[in-house]
C-alpha cells in the first residue's frame, strides 16, 4: 500500500492583479507607445534635415521630439514609482496622470500636424488612434472629454491656418507639405499663396469641424463599445470560472467526506477479518476466502486513501507554503533504494544517477510520495529484463528529475488523459490493478511545489516521466514559486 | 494473572474485533465507548494497558483522555497506545515517530491495524 503523503490541506495561491495594478500597467503601456511617437518625430526631423532642408521645420520637429522624450521620461518615472498594492482600488492620482498625458500628447500631435503640412495632414489618423487608446485607458466620460479637446485643437488649427494666424508659409517656404494631406487634391484650396475667399473658407471649415469632430467622437464611441463588449465577455468568463472552481471544491469536499465515511466501516472490516484469521479456527477453504476478503478490503482502503489524498490537496482552504529545504538527490536515492528488492525480484535493472546537488522547498515526504508513485508505475509496467533509470539534473533555476523505463508504454491516443482522475490506459489495465489516481496525486503535489510534470511515451518502447522543480535559492523564492504556478 | 487491557473506541465493531484478538492472545479486555465511560470504569478497575482511539465524539477526545489518565497517580506509568486515523478528517497525517515527542503515550497504531501488529505492540509494552 503506497504511503499516504504528509501534505498540508492549505495551499498558497497568488492573487490576481488588482484594479489599481491593471490601471498602472496600462499607463506603462502608454509610455511605451509614446516612445514610438518620439522615434517617429525624431526620424521626421532627421529626414527633413537631410532631404528637404527647412531650417525652421527641422528645429520645430526636433523640439517636439525632445519635448515628447522629456515628458515621457518624467511620466515613466512617475508611473513606475506608484506601485499599487494588489488589493488597492484604482486611484485618482493615476487617472489624473493618464488625463494629463493624453492631453499633452494631443497638443504635440497637433503641433506636429501643423509643422508637417497642416490641419489636414495624415497625422489626423494618429490622433484618432490616440483617442482610441485614451478610450481604452479611461472611463468613457474622460475619453469623450479628450475627443472634445482634440476637436477644439483641430478647429483652432484650421481657423488659425485658414485665417492666416498660423500661416503655413512661415514654416514651409515652398508651401509643400512634408506629409501628404488627408484630403489629397480635392478642390478645397488647402494651400494658398494668399488667404482664400472668406465665405468659402468659413463653409469649408465648418464642414471639416463636423466631419473630423464626428470621427473623433465616433472613434471613442466605437472603441468603448468594443471594450465594453469584451469586458462583458470577460465578466461572464470570470463568473463561469468562479462557479467551476466552486463546483470543483464541492466535488473535492464530497470526495473527502465520503472517503472518510467509508473508511471507518472498512477499517472495522479489515480489523475483524484480521481477528478472524488470527484466532478463528478456519479450514483451508475458509482461510482462503478470508484472505481474499482482506485483500479486497486492502484494495478499497488504498483507493479511499488516494481519493482522500487527492481531494485534500485540491481543497483550497487557506494558505501554506513548503516549509523544508529538501535535498532532491538524497530523497530520490532513498526512495529508489526502497524499490531495489522489488526490482530484483522482477528481474529489472534499477539505476539512479545524480549529476549534482539540488535543494528545493518541499513538505516532508512530498518528494518521496511522488517518487514512490512514479517508480511503482515504472516497475509494474516494465517486463522482466527491462530497465528503469532515474536521473537528477540540477540547472541554474530548477532541477530536472527523469524516470525512464523500457516498459509497455502508453497508447498515443490516451496520453493526453494520463493525469485525469481514475483514468488508466487500456494496456495498463491488462497488466495490473490500480486506482487511476496515482498520476493525479503526483501532478497535484508537483504543482503545489511550484514544479511541472510531463510524460513522453512510445507504445511498446517505454515511458519517460520528467519533473521540473524550482531550486530553493532564497526565502522569497518559495512563495514566488508556489504563487506563479497558480 | 492475565494482564488487563482497556480498549476505548466509539466503533462497536472495532471494539469487538480488538477484544477478540487480545482475548485470543490471553489478555483480559474491558471495553469503553467514550472517554467519560472509560474514566468512570478505571475508578473501580485496575488496568495494565490502554488502547485509545484518537477520534471519538470529538476529533481529539483520545488525546485529552490520555492526558487525564497520565494525571492520575496510579496510571502515570501505564502504557498507552493511540489508534489514529486523523488524516481522514484533517488531511494531516499524524507521524507516530514525532507525535510521541509531545504526547504522553508509548505507541501509535494507524487504522486499520491488523491482529499481528496489535498483539506485537501490546506484548512489547507489557514486557
User: Is residue B65 classed exposed, middle or buried when 0-12, 13-18 and 19+ CB atoms within 10 A define those classes?
Assistant: buried
Closest by Cβ to B21, choosing from A9, A265, A275? A275
Q: Give B-chain residues touching A266 at CB under 8 angstroms.
A: 112
Query: According to the model, what pLDDT value does residue A9 have?
Result: 36
Establish if B123 touches chain A: CB-CB under 8 angstroms: no
Which residue from B23, B88, B92 is facing A8, i.e. has the nearest CB?
A: B92
Q: Which residue is associated with the grid cell 484480521?
A: A274
With an 8 Å Cβ cutoff, the interface of chain A facing chain B consists of 4-9, 256, 259-260, 263-272, 274-279, 301, 308, 312, 315
pLDDT tens-digit map of A225-280: 999 999 899 999 999 988 888 888 888 778 777 777 787 788 888 888 888 887 76
What is the predicted pLDDT for the residue at B87? 52
A278 interaction partners in chain B (CB closer than 8 Å): 21, 24, 115-116, 119
Asked if B114 is an interface residue toward chain A (Cβ–Cβ < 8 A), one would say yes
- Contact criterion met (CB < 8 Å) for A5 and B11: no
Question: Which residues in chain B touch residue A295, judged by CB atoms under 8 angstroms apart?
Answer: none
Chain B residue at shortest CA distance from A314: B91
Is B74 within 8 Å of chain A by CB? no
| Beta-sheet pairing, A452-458 with A462-470 | antiparallel
What is residue A118's three-state secondary structure? coil
| CA–CA min distance A357, chain B (Å) | 28
Which chain A residues touch B87 with a CB distance below 8 Å? 4, 308, 312
In terms of Cα–Cα distance, which of B79, B82, B3 is closest to B46? B3
Nine cell digits for residue A368:
518521496
| Separation CA B68–CA B76 (nearest Å) | 10
Residues of chain A with pLDDT under 50: 1-15, 169-170, 173-175, 183-191, 317-318, 476-477, 479-486
Task: Tell me the C-alpha to C-alpha distance, in Å, between residue A434 and each of A426, A441, A458, B2.
Answer: 12, 13, 21, 44
Q: Does B109 touch chain A (CB under 8 A)?
A: no
Q: Which of B89, B90, B111 sits opposite A267 (nearest CB)?
A: B111
Query: Least CB-CB distance to A277: which of B85, B90, B115?
Result: B115
Nearest residue in B to A316, CA atom: B91
Element (H, E) at A362: strand A359-362
Task: Give me the pLDDT at residue A144, please.
Answer: 93
- Higher model confidence: residue A98 or residue B85? A98
Contacts of A314 in chain B (CB under 8 A): none
Q: Is the Cβ pair B14, A301 closer than 8 Å?
A: no
Determine whether the interchain pair B115/A7 forms a contact, defined as Cβ–Cβ distance below 8 Å: no
The predicted pLDDT at position A365 comes to 78
Pick from B21, B85, B119: CB nearest A267: B85
CA dihedral A135, A112, A104, A101 (to 10 degrees): 50
Q: Is B26 an 8 Å CB contact of chain A?
A: no
Q: Do A279 and B89 touch (CB under 8 A)?
A: no
CA distances, A62 to each of A111, A217, A425, B14 (Å)? 12, 31, 69, 90
CB contact under 8 A, B88 and A259: yes
Residues of A in contact with B83 (CB under 8 A): none
Q: What is the pLDDT of residue A352?
A: 94
Count interface pairs A-B at CB distance under 8 A. Answer: 81
B31's enclosing H/E stretch is strand B28-32
User: Taking CB atoms and an 8 Å cutoff, what residues of chain A touch B20?
Assistant: 272, 275-276, 279
Give the side-chain half-sphere CA count within 13 A for A316: 12
Do B14 and A274 make contact, defined as CB atoms within 8 angstroms?
A: no
- Above 90 in pLDDT, residue B30? yes
Cell digits for A138?
479611461
Give the separation between CA A342 and CA A123, rounded to whole angstroms: 77
Mean per-residue pLDDT over chain B, rounded: 84
User: Chain A closest CA to B28's CA: distance in Å?
Assistant: 15
Whether B56 and chain A come into contact, CB under 8 Å, resolves to no
Closest-CA distance, A26 to chain B, in angstroms, reads: 43
Q: What's the pLDDT tens digit per position in A408-464?
A: 999 999 998 899 887 888 888 878 777 788 898 899 889 888 899 999 999 999 999
Q: Could you tell me which residue, A312 or B53, shows the higher pLDDT?
A: B53
Q: Is B52 on the interface with A (CB under 8 A)?
A: no
C-alpha cell at A67: 519635448
In terms of Cβ atoms closer than 10 Å to its own Cβ (0-12, 13-18, 19+), residue A316 is: middle
How much is the ipTM here? 0.74
Amino acid at each position: 500500500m503506497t504511503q499516504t503523503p504528509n501534505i498540508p490541506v492549505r495551499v498558497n495561491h497568488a492573487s490576481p492583479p488588482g484594479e489599481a495594478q491593471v490601471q498602472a500597467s496600462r499607463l506603462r503601456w502608454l509610455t511605451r507607445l509614446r516612445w514610438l511617437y518620439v522615434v517617429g518625430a525624431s526620424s521626421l526631423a532627421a529626414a527633413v534635415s537631410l532631404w528637404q532642408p527647412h531650417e525652421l521645420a527641422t528645429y520645430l520637429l526636433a523640439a517636439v521630439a525632445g519635448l515628447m522624450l522629456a515628458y515621457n521620461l518624467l511620466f515613466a518615472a512617475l508611473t513606475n514609482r506608484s506601485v499599487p498594492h494588489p488589493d488597492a482600488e484604482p486611484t485618482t492620482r493615476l487617472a489624473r496622470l493618464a488625463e494629463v498625458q493624453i492631453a499633452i500628447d494631443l497638443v504635440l500631435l497637433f503641433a506636429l500636424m501643423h509643422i508637417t503640412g497642416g490641419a489636414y495632414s495624415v497625422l489626423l489618423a494618429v490622433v484618432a488612434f490616440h483617442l482610441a487608446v485614451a478610450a481604452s485607458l479611461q472611463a468613457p466620460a474622460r475619453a469623450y472629454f479628450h475627443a472634445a479637446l482634440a476637436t477644439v485643437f483641430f478647429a483652432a488649427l484650421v481657423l488659425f491656418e485658414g485665417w492666416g494666424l498660423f500661416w503655413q508659409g512661415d514654416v514651409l517656404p515652398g508651401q509643400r507639405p512634408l506629409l501628404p494631406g488627408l484630403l489629397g487634391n480635392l478642390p478645397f484650396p488647402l494651400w494658398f499663396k494668399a488667404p482664400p475667399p472668406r465665405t468659402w473658407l468659413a463653409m469649408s471649415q465648418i464642414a471639416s469641424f463636423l466631419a473630423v469632430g464626428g470621427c473623433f467622437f465616433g472613434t471613442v464611441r466605437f472603441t468603448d463599445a468594443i471594450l465594453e463588449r469584451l469586458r462583458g465577455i470577460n465578466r461572464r468568463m470570470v463568473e463561469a470560472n468562479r462557479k467551476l472552481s466552486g463546483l470543483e471544491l464541492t466535488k473535492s469536499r464530497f470526495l473527502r467526506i465520503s472517503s472518510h465515511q467509508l473508511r471507518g466501516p472498512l477499517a472495522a472490516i479489515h480489523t475483524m477479518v484480521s481477528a478472524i484469521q488470527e484466532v478463528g479456527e478456519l479450514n483451508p477453504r475458509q482461510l482462503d476466502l478470508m484472505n481474499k476478503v482482506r485483500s479486497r478490503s486492502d484494495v478499497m482502503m488504498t483507493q479511499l486513501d488516494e481519493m482522500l489524498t487527492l481531494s485534500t490537496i485540491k481543497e483550497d482552504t487557506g494558505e501554506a507554503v513548503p516549509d523544508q529545504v529538501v535535498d532532491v538527490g538524497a530523497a530520490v536515492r532513498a526512495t529508489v533504494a526502497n524499490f531495489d528488492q522489488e526490482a530484483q525480484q522482477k528481474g529489472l535493472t534499477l539505476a539512479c544517477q545524480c549529476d549534482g546537488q539540488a535543494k528545493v522547498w518541499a513538505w516532508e515526504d512530498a518528494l518521496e510520495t511522488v517518487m514512490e508513485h512514479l517508480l511503482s508505475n515504472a516497475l509494474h509496467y516494465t517486463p522482466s529484463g527491462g530497465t528503469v533509470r532515474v536521473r537528477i539534473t540540477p540547472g541554474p533555476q530548477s532541477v530536472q528529475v527523469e524516470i525512464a523505463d523500457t516498459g509497455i508504454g502508453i497508447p498515443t491516443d490516451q496520453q493526453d488523459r494520463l493525469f485525469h482522475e481514475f483514468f488508466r490506459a487500456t494496456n495498463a489495465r491488462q497488466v495490473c490493478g490500480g486506482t487511476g489516481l496515482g498520476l493525479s496525486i503526483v501532478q497535484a503535489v508537483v504543482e503545489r511545489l511550484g514544479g511541472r510534470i510531463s510524460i513522453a511515451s512510445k507504445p511498446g518502447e517505454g515511458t519517460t516521466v520528467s519533473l521540473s522543480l524550482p531550486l530553493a535559492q532564497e526565502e522569497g523564492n518559495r512563495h514566488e514559486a508556489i504563487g506563479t504556478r497558480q | 494473572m492475565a494482564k488487563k487491557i482497556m480498549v476505548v473506541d466509539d466503533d462497536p465493531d472495532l471494539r469487538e474485533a480488538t477484544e477478540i484478538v487480545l482475548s485470543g492472545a490471553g489478555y483480559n479486555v474491558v471495553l469503553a465507548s467514550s472517554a467519560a465511560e472509560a474514566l468512570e470504569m478505571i475508578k473501580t478497575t485496575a488496568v495494565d494497558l490502554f488502547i485509545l482511539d484518537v477520534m471519538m465524539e470529538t476529533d481529539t477526545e483520545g488525546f485529552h483522555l490520555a492526558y487525564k489518565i497520565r494525571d492520575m497517580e496510579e496510571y502515570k506509568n501505564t502504557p498507552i497506545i493511540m489508534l489514529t486515523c486523523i488524516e481522514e478528517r484533517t488531511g494531516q497525517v499524524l507521524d507516530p515517530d514525532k507525535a510521541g515527542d509531545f504526547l504522553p503515550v508509548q505507541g501509535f497504531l494507524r487504522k486499520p491495524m491488523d491482529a499481528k501488529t496489535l498483539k506485537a505492540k501490546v506484548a512489547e509494552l507489557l514486557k
